[in-house]
Amino acid sequence: MKNRLLFVIQSCLIIQLWLAVPSRVWAQLEQSDRLEIPTSSSRSEVFEVFTLGNGGLISLVRGDDFIGNRNETWEFTKYDISLNPVWRVNYKLDNRYTPVMAHQGQDHGYWLFAQPDTDHFLFIQMNFMDGAIETFKGDLLSGIDVHQFKVIGSKAVIAGYHRSRPVVVIHSFFDHTSKVLPGLYEKNTELNNVDINEQDGIINVITYAYRKKNCVFEIKTYSYEGRLVKKTSLSDPKNSFISGQIVPLNQDDSYLIGNYSVGCTPYSQGLYITHITDNEPDAPEFIEFSELQNFFNFMKPKRRQRVMERIGKRKSLGKENRFRYRLLVHELIQTEDEIVLVAEVYYPNQRAGSPIITNGINRPYSGRSIEGYRYTHAIVCGFDRNGKFKWDNCIPIKDLNSFELQEMVQLTPVNDYFILAYPQEGTIHTEVINRSKVVVENEKFEITAKSESDKVLTNENAYLAPWYGQYFLAYGMQRVGPSTVGLGREVFYINKLTYKTEGIQKAENRESNDVPR
């Protein structure tokens, strides 16, 4: 009887303790739908996914049958938001061409192919509505190393390097003519970004140049026909601009947002924003990492305290701080009231050896070989529509490595929250923030198989992509089977995931009501 009474008392205490922690929010991530595409053991295959918002998604399966010189088969399938097939289209690729890059427009998808050792290129245009395919051929530059490919109207924009110098070519699909944009083919210059403004019909080419021991950041604006319209130069006696993205306000008015360094190095010291009217930039606002409220939250508390004390001591002595962070800056996310920047901090994994030798624009000539990249954390920063920095936050990333430098952390706005998530070895890590406040700390969710009788045996090449509303997609390769005994079967999976914030809102309301008044 005493034991039973003790058990009841303990149970009541546990319930009371659970009710006394209003800020605890239980897992909200749900796997609502899943698509499994079996792989073939008789051919090599490549899988890709293109999200279309609430219009669904398109999967691409590229297959080579290893038989002579047979052309590669490209199978496109469109799925609706419930992952049901809508249409399927096959395309036989001429084996003289190799795929280079893809571009996703509003209503069409585009693929660029090159014929090696020639100036012949092939373009595929696909209508997302019905899968109708059109092909266009053209001659560009032989030996161009393509870094970016975009489409504006009925013209392709191909940016890259030719004989180690930057070049941007626009190619008309209708009359098959090509034009090299003027003013770019210069020494000691690198392409930073090619920005397409379809509404105004202009092309902005952002370059980074090393001239007379100074780093010069330039925006060259071209008309739809390829005529140089204006040029904007940004230079600062102390800081160097590493990257920049344009936020147009009107045809002659815009913001430029990016990250900066000191002394023409690739190491970011912080973020900047500047207002550009016509081609004249205002004095940039530089935001050093030490000025961010949450930048160092990826560190353990004791280490973070030591770092902050060291930064504060240097500032009190009038000394400048020097950081060695590399940033992968995502495309800006624009809402009605805010401009949101997401960037991942990473380090190249390198073999031991001699130091890298670089020129003024940090292009390696020799040294250690890179063996992938290691991510430490991602930062999220918000600016208002008047160009003022408002808030920041961060999500720690633990033991995440990638052979390619690519965006791993995805941000999805849901109501008043931002869902941050990244994939890792068959799991999804999430964090929920409300601007500078973390409302749900890091949680981990398993990506499960479609059938309850199946288990996930291995995971490979996991990716994450925002989809629509509060939904996003996880996709990659898995080996699944009814038990851990045996090899199971390999599938390419696409999981529809949703993060419900209702529980967060209730927990926050409960927490605010418990605050003494």
pLDDT band at 1 (very low <50, low <70, confident <90, very high): very low
- φ and ψ at residue 472, rounded to 5 degrees: -145, 170
Residue 117 in contact with residue 98, Cβ under 8 Å? Answer: no
The Cα-based distances of 276 to 139, 220, 244, 335 in angstroms read 36, 13, 12, 20
What is the average per-residue pLDDT within 94-119? 94
Determine the pLDDT at residue 468. Answer: 92
pLDDT class of 70 with cuts at 50, 70, 90: low
Joined tokens for residue 144: 């161009």
pLDDT score recorded for residue 278: 84
Mean of all residue pLDDT scores within the chain:
87
Structure tokens at 422: 């990244």
| Choice among 15-29, 339-353, 431-445, 475-489 with the minimum mean pLDDT | 15-29
- Has residue 275 got a pLDDT over 60? yes
Give me 427's structure tokens: 């799991």
Q: What pLDDT digit, counting tens, does each position of 494-514 carry?
A: 999 999 888 787 667 666 666
Name the residue among 515, 446, 444 with its Cα closest to residue 480. 446
Tens digit of pLDDT for each residue in 390-423? 999 999 998 899 888 999 999 999 888 999 999 9
CA dist., res. 503 & res. 25, Å (int): 7
Instruction: Read off the pLDDT band of 369 (50, 70, 90).
Output: low
Name the more confident of 360 and 29: 29
- Record the tokens describing residue 165, joined without a space: 């110098």
Q: What is the pLDDT of residues 156-212, one digit of tens each?
A: 999 999 999 999 999 999 999 999 999 999 999 999 999 999 999 999 999 999 887
pLDDT at 195: 95
Angle at 381 between CA 289 and CA 273, to 5 degrees: 75
Give the dihedral sign, CA 291/293/299/302.
Answer: positive
Burial 160-190 (b: 16+ CB within 10 A, else e): bbbeeebbbbbbbbeeeebeebeebeeeebb
The mean per-residue pLDDT over the stretch 3-9 comes to: 41
Beta bridge partners of 424: 427
Single-letter amino acid code for the residue at 87: W
